[in-house]
């Protein structure tokens, strides 16, 4: 044949391409065999799909259209399309015949009318999609698309079904009962499943070729034809647009408009999803920023604050209104990734990091409160200095006396030797107590103090402490006041001994001018309180809680002159809490400190009665009461 003849299989791939097609379009059979036709312009693909689908379910169609030559030029052609069937009448493809066409005046007038009508529909589609694309809600866009469908294609009703996994859900309808919304059906057995399996873009189903009564769309009275088109969003099938007709036949122009509408709807839906994803992402990021314990600020290219989260307000004391549009109230690091430490006017230490945002010239400033770490660092430095001082003094004495004994043993009298050895023993004991406190401080810091709580007699522990410290109270009067019979308590005797010993030792140490140190017992219904009071330098009420922190003793002004690591009361508190007890510090009247240590009573015993007072006289160790 002189005309160009192209034969397509059921998948719309070229299986025959005659010499007339080679001459007209420029491609050879070898180049196109097994592939989709290469000569359909992009703006004519919807028309091409519509014509093939219309021919598949109906009769031959002849149209005047345009095609592309291999060299890129456009050709005006007359194209005829017919079904290709086998000997049993089953459709196996299409036969397409093309020849160059110059329109006659009458044909030219009809073609101009056709082009004008098509141009009008395309303009209406463009206007419609401009309005639809202004929305950002997916459901709203679907409703607008389906509503516009009936106007653009002349359909009697329409709908949109979403692909959700292996099923379809009816998401929007026009001119159909709203009760149908939400209806689900199996994707594989649906018309859309058939369309997806075929690889085509549009599908026509009529009551001439298949029963429609079992379809959801049969709710439309007099339904004769269903036209549907795949709607792709971001390159993947998202759902299908359905046009429903009561009359039997629709033209390929209506099918073309359906595909164009579905394509534009896919773009609008993709934009809406991108917008919603951006909104969700921003909300997510905002929630993370607001929930962050770190202060976070975003600076513009000029270093002015654009964002200021809640933690930034808490850390700096500056509200958003005070900082937005101004530089932050602290310096920013000059290098990305290198932290800067800065002390605020409120005394809080901040560690500040910056990260540049590529492409925007903005900077994210992340800052956190390092005041506790800074204080601990200072406490550690002080502790090292204190430990060196406290250990060096007795160690110097031990080393000096040991050298003297070694070098001058023969020259020393027995009394001198004994005196030197007693001093060595005394300083060694002092160093042993210091090391023991250090070890207990480590265990207390880890929460691993060895405590075994059981019913016990707290009076026995108190008498033991009294007996141990009575000889040491040379400049003090040490008194023990407790009932003659005490109820048993739930405690660890060894831990309780350590607690009371530390409290008495502190009372003696912080009373350099002497005075009375009293250990008293108060019995209540559910607890027993041990109160150690002195008449020494006292305690500021502000420090009544801080003195139980590690190393705090070294920072308390005039108390520094008394030495020590500042671990004693921290250990005491940990030991008390390990026994479910409590210890508190209070100013004593008229002067001095009162430490109160409470233990739980053991409910299995009754309280005793009566009382006595034991004391040591100042200086001579004699008792008085």
| CA dihedral (403, 404, 409, 411) positive or negative | positive
pLDDT reported for residue 434: 64
Query: Nearest to residue 543, comparing CAs of 552, 535, 554, 533?
Result: 552
pLDDT, position 612: 42
**CA gap 578, 120 in Å, rounded:** 87
Cβ pair 100, 93 in contact under 8 A: no
What the block records as the tokens of 371 is 């005041």
Could you write out the DSSP letters of every residue in 420-477? HHHHHHHHHHHHHHHHHHHHHHHHHHHT------EEE-HHHHHHHHHHHHGGG-SSEE
Query: What are the tokens at 435?
Result: 């090391």
**pTM assigned to the model:** 0.52
The pLDDT of residue 448 = 54
User: Which of 462, 503, 506, 514 is closest to 484 using CA atoms?
Assistant: 462
Q: Which residues contact 532 (CB under 8 A, 6 or more apart)?
A: 500, 503, 504, 507, 517, 518, 519, 520, 594, 595, 597
Distance CA 469, CA 621 (A): 10
pLDDT attached to residue 252: 86
Q: Is the dihedral of CA 581, 586, 589, 593 positive or negative?
A: positive
- What is Dmax (Cα atoms) for the chain? 146
pLDDT at position 430: 65
Convert the pLDDT of each residue in 276-316 to its tens digit: 888 888 888 888 888 888 999 999 989 999 999 999 999 99
**What pLDDT does 439 receive?**
63
Q: What is the pLDDT of residue 194?
A: 92
Q: Return the pLDDT at 114.
A: 63
Contact 2, 9 (CB under 8 A): no
Q: State residue 470's pLDDT score.
A: 82
Kindly list the strands in the beta sheet with 184-186, ordered across the sheet, starting from the edge strand earlier in the chain.
184-186, 167-174, 157-164, 236-245, 225-233, 202-206
Helix, strand, coil tally for the chain in percent (to 5): 45, 25, 30
User: What does the pLDDT read at residue 607?
Assistant: 42
What's the confidence (pLDDT) of residue 443? 56
Low-confidence ranges of the chain (pLDDT < 50): 554-560, 605-625
* Distance from the first to the final alpha carbon of the chain: 138
Q: At what angle do helices 138-153 and 105-133 cross, to 10 degrees?
A: 160
- Per-residue confidence (pLDDT) for residue 545, from 0 to 100: 66
pLDDT of 151: 84
Residue 557 is predicted with a pLDDT of 43
């Amino acid at each position: 044949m002189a005309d160009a003849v192209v034969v397509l299989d059921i998948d719309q791939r070229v299986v025959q391409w005659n010499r007339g097609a080679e001459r007209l379009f420029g491609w050879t059979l070898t180049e196109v065999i097994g592939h989709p036709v290469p000569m359909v312009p992009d703006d004519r693909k919807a028309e091409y799909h519509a014509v093939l689908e219309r021919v598949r379910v109906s009769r031959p169609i002849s149209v005047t259209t345009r095609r592309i030559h291999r060299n890129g030029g456009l050709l005006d052609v007359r194209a005829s399309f017919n079904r290709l069937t086998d000997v049993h009448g089953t459709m196996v493809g299409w036969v397409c015949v093309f020849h160059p066409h110059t329109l006659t005046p009458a044909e030219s007038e009809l073609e101009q009318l056709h082009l004008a009508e098509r141009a009008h529909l395309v303009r209406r589609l463009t206007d419609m999609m401009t309005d639809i694309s202004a929305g950002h809600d997916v459901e709203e866009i679907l409703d607008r698309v389906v509503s516009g469908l009936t106007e653009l294609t002349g359909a009697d009703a329409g709908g949109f079904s979403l692909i959700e996994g292996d099923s379809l859900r009816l998401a929007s309808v026009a001119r159909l009962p709203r009760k149908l919304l939400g209806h689900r059906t199996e994707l594989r057995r649906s018309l859309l499943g058939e369309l997806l399996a075929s690889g085509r873009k549009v599908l026509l189903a009529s009551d001439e070729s298949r029963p429609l009564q079992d379809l959801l769309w049969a709710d439309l009275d007099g339904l004769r034809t269903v036209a549907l088109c795949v709607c792709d969003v971001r390159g993947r099938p998202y759902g299908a647009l359905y046009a429903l007709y009561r009359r039997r036949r629709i033209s390929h122009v209506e099918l073309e408009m359906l595909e164009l509408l579905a394509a534009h709807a896919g773009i609008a839906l993709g934009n809406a999803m991108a917008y919603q994803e951006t909104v969700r992402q921003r909300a997510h990021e905002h929630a993370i920023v607001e929930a962050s314990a770190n202060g976070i600020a975003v600076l513009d290219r000029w270093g002015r604050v654009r964002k200021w989260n809640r933690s930034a307000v808490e850390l700096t004391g500056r509200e958003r209104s005070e900082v937005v549009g101004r530089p932050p109230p602290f310096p920013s690091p000059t290098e990305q990734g290198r932290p800067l430490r800065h002390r605020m006017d409120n005394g809080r230490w901040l560690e500040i990091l910056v990260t540049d945002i590529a492409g925007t010239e903005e900077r994210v400033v992340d800052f956190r409160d390092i005041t506790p770490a800074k204080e601990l660092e200072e406490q550690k430095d002080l502790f090292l200095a204190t430990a060196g001082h406290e250990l060096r003094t007795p160690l110097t004495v031990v080393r000096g006396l040991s050298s003297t004994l070694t070098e001058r043993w023969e020259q020393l009298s027995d009394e001198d030797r004994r005196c030197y050895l007693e001093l060595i023993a005394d300083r060694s004991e002092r160093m042993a107590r210091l090391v023991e406190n250090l070890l207990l401080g480590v265990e207390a810091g880890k929460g691993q103090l060895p405590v075994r709580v059981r019913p016990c007699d707290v009076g026995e522990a108190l008498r033991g402490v009294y007996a141990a410290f009575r000889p040491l109270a040379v400049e003090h009067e040490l008194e023990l006041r407790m009932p003659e019979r005490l109820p048993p308590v739930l405690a660890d005797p060894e831990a309780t001994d350590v607690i009371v010993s530390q409290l008495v030792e502190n009372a003696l140490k912080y009373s350099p001018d002497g005075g009375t140190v009293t250990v008293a017992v108060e019995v209540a219904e559910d607890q027993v309180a041990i109160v150690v009071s002195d008449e020494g330098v006292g305690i500021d009420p502000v420090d009544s809680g801080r003195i139980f922190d590690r190393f705090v003793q070294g920072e308390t002004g005039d108390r520094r002159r008394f030495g020590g690591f500042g671990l004693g009361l921290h250990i005491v508190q940990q030991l008390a809490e390990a026994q479910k007890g409590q210890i508190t510090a209070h100013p004593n009247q008229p002067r001095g400190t009162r430490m109160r240590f409470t233990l739980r009573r053991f409910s299995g015993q009754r309280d005793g009665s009566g009382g006595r007072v034991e004391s040591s006289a100042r200086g001579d160790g004699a008792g008085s009461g």
